Amino acid sequence: MQFNSTRFRIDPTPRRADGEFMAHARISTRRADGSEFDIHLSGDLAGFDVRDDAIAYAKNWAQEWLDARFG
């Protein structure tokens, strides 16, 4: 699952660990030549029992991170 803006792409796909879904976010963008590169990798943010909760948390975290840095 990926969130796309005009400038940044957020991939909030959680990973499974110890029976939980670990929220994390990958924020990337594209260079002028079309190649993709990572702006930020969050690392593990929090654990959730429900996959959709982990996705929502990571997506919200990434949007706040982008707002704080790029307004």
SS3 of 21-53: EEECCEEEEECCCCCEEEEEECCCCEEECCHHH
The pLDDT of residue 3? 52
Judged by DSSP in three states, 9 sits in strand
Q: pTM value?
A: 0.85
Find the range with the poorest average confidence among 20-24, 45-49, 60-64, 67-71: 67-71
The pLDDT of residue 40? 95
The pLDDT of residue 7? 83
C-alpha distances out from residue 71 to 65, 67, 68, Å: 9, 4, 6
Neighbouring C-beta atoms of residue 65, cutoff 10 Å: 17
The pLDDT of residue 31? 87
Tokens of 21: 């879904």
The pLDDT of residue 67? 87
Q: Is the pLDDT of residue 66 over 50?
A: yes
